[in-house]
């Protein structure tokens, strides 16, 4: 199945809230929507769900570093039954108000889409990178990063930052592999 990036990305930049509502206008019929949510400086899992137009997205990956550089990253995805047109993405938070960063993005395809592979890194690391294996499937690959590095990294060749925030003592970054690829794909 041929998949391509939709060029419409919407940043999540919500200051200390118990939920965030972000309007997402993909501009065309999409076959996959992903939401990367980054929670700077938190030591627990606070994201309880994400919806698009009232339809729940599946949680694909969650990583938390509770010591050293505390913060978390979670990815949600929906590849079938996607509501058409402009809709609200609602990020629900359990417990106390939480600072949210990240990005909403989507892909185009002839049919429904699915996750080919996912992975996480969950500890302090210099130059974090993950290699995914999509087999023969063409894949649109994206990742989220929270770090206490204090400056936004440039990333590796062949990828594009689609969201970044530099808070001085810590950063958040969402990135995509620029090309649609298959096989062994590294992002970081």
> Which pair of structure tokens corresponds to residue 51?
């919806």
- Indicate which CATH number applies to the domain containing 37: 2.60.120
- C-alpha 176/C-alpha 188 separation (Å) is 9
Count of the separate structural domains present in the chain:
1
Q: What is the DSSP letter of 54?
A: T
> Tell me: the pLDDT tens digits for 98-116?
788 889 999 999 999 999 9
pLDDT in tens, 32-55: 999 999 888 788 888 999 999 999
Of 105, 74, 73, the C-alpha closest to 89 is 105
The mean-pLDDT minimum among 74-78, 82-86, 91-95 falls in 91-95
Angle at 24 between CA 97 and CA 111, to 5 degrees: 120
Banded model confidence at residue 1, pLDDT cuts 50, 70, 90: low
Q: Which domain holds residue 135?
A: 3-187
pTM of the model: 0.91
């Amino acid at each position: 199945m041929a998949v391509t990036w939709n060029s419409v990305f919407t940043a999540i930049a919500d200051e200390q809230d118990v939920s965030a509502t972000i309007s997402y206008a993909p501009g065309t019929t999409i076959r996959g929507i992903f939401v990367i949510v980054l929670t700077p400086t938190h030591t627990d899992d606070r994201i309880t769900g994400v919806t698009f137009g009232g339809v729940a997205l599946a949680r694909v990956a969650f990583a938390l570093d509770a010591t050293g550089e505390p913060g978390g990253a979670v990815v949600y995805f929906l590849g079938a039954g996607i509501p058409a047109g402009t809709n609200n993405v609602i990020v629900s938070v359990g417990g106390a108000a939480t600072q949210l960063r990240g990005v909403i993005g989507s892909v185009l395809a002839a049919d429904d889409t699915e996750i080919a592979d996912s992975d996480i890194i969950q500890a302090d690391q210099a130059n974090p990178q993950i290699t995914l294996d999509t087999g023969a499937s063409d894949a649109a690959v994206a990742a989220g990063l929270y770090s206490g590095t204090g400056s936004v990294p440039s990333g590796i060749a062949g990828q594009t930052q689609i969201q970044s925030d530099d808070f001085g003592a810590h950063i958040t970054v969402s990135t995509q592999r620029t090309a649609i690829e298959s096989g062994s794909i590294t992002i970081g």
